Amino acid sequence: MPAIVGAVKVISIGSSGVFNIGDVFTLSPSGTAKTFAGAGSFNTGDYLKVRNFHSVTKTYDQDANDSNVNSVL
Q: Please state, in angstroms and rounded to a whole number, the distance separating the CA atoms of residues 18 and 48.
A: 30
pLDDT at 26: 79
Residues 32, 69 contacting (CB under 8 angstroms):
yes
Please state the pTM of the whole predicted model: 0.36
What share of the chain in percent tops pLDDT 90?
0
pLDDT at 63: 73
d(CA 15, CA 17): 6
